[in-house]
Amino acid sequence: MEDFTDTVFRRVVAQSGRPDLWFTEFLRVDVATWAGETPSRLRFEATERPIIAQVWGRNADEFEPACTAIERLGFDGIDINMGCAVRKILRTGAGAALIGNEPLASGIIAAARRGTSLPISVKTRLADDWAGTSRWCRFLFDQGIAALTVHARRVADTFSGHADWRRIAQIVRIQHAAGTRCAVIGNGDVRNRAHALRLAEHTGVDGVMVGRGAVQNPAFFARLSEVSPASRAERIANLISHARVYRTTWGNRRKVRVFRKYVGSHIHGYPGWRSDTKRLYGAESYEEFFAVAETISREAMT
């Protein structure tokens, strides 16, 4: 997820339990071939493998060199975003604007394949109507992709309403009928393990993708039997340790104002968390932030 699930956050999540597979934040496809430092969105450590790099774009020619460059970085696969409904992406003709544009989508997938021998997958959304969705998914299953992730909302829904898991079940049936070897990954509104199991049971998907559930609760992947709700002191300690690695990794490029979006991820929910959040948001530098967090930590232990 853009601006959230960077290499640091992924490692924070993995401390309590990790998914089988990570996907990076999406990257504009041409950025992968820029000379110089590895784009920050493509940074990862070996412990994060298997990891898939996600790219977005609409110019098929850019996908071949980008996929070659991504393979060289050691990724395990490349995911093409054909589902993002954010206006600035749609306006470029990429993301969910590709839904139904079969000539362009097949050109992009073919170009990606020319650039790499890694598995290629696609993430998409529902089309405006069921006829469009089933046509689009049938088309994608014909492209020889390794996996299709479906966020079960239409473009017009953006993030409102509920993800329609019934559509995911129908798409799984289309995949079975197509007889190709493409894994179907369901996505949308999975907030805890029980939701993930329910989605898998109701739809027959091969996998479940978790987005906001992990951002709201970095311990999402902990095994249920092993977790008791973390105390205020433990959560502040997790926040401090996350902030330390974040600052070491990103330095001045990402100041505390950028980091503080993670405050809620760690401390949301305990009595008084709102007032602690307000105090932490008042910090204008990492020094101030650590000082406030250490004070809260001492209060939590008395």
Ligand X SMILES: Cc1cc2nc3c(=O)[nH]c(=O)nc-3n(C[C@H](O)[C@H](O)[C@H](O)COP(=O)(O)O)c2cc1C
Binding residues for ligand X (CB under 6 A): 1-2, 4, 25-26, 54, 81, 84, 123, 151, 187-190, 210-213
Q: Residue 144 CB, nearest distance to ligand X (Å)?
A: 20
For residues 249 and 7, the answer to whether their CB atoms sit within 8 Å is yes
Given a contact cutoff of 8 angstroms between Cβ atoms, the answer to whether 266 and 246 are in contact is: no
Is residue 75 within 8 Å of 53, Cβ to Cβ?
Answer: yes
Cα–Cα distance measured from residue 181 to residue 142, given in angstroms and rounded to the nearest whole number: 10
Whose CB is nearest to ligand X?
A: 211
Q: Tell me how far apart the alpha carbons of residues 276 and 266 are, in angstroms, rounded to a whole number.
A: 11
CA–CA dist 25, 5 (Å, integer)? 6
DSSP line for 41-60: GG---GGG-SEEEEEE-S-H
Nearer CB in complex with ligand X: 143/297? 143
Q: How far is the CB of 159 from ligand X (least distance, A)?
A: 6
Q: 84 an active-site residue?
A: yes
Pick the catalytic residue from 67, 84, 137, 182. 84
CB closer to ligand X, 64 vs 189: 189
Nearer residue to ligand X within complex by CB, 115 or 213 = 213
Nearest-approach distance from CB 17 to ligand X, in angstroms: 16
CB of 50 to ligand X, least distance (A): 17
| Contact predicate 118/152, CB 8 Å | no
User: Minimum distance between the CB of residue 253 and ligand X, rounded to whole angstroms?
Assistant: 19
The rounded distance, in Å, linking the Cα atoms of 21 and 51 is: 6
Residue 62 or 189: the one with the smaller Cβ distance to ligand X is: 189
Paired with 81 in beta bridges are 123
Strand segments (E) across the chain: 22-28, 51-56, 77-82, 120-126, 147-154, 183-187, 207-209
In the structure encoding, which two tokens stand for residue 201, read together? Answer: 């049971």
Instruction: Considering the complex, state which of residue 122 and residue 182 has its C-beta at the smaller distance from ligand X.
Output: 122
Catalytic residue numbers read 84
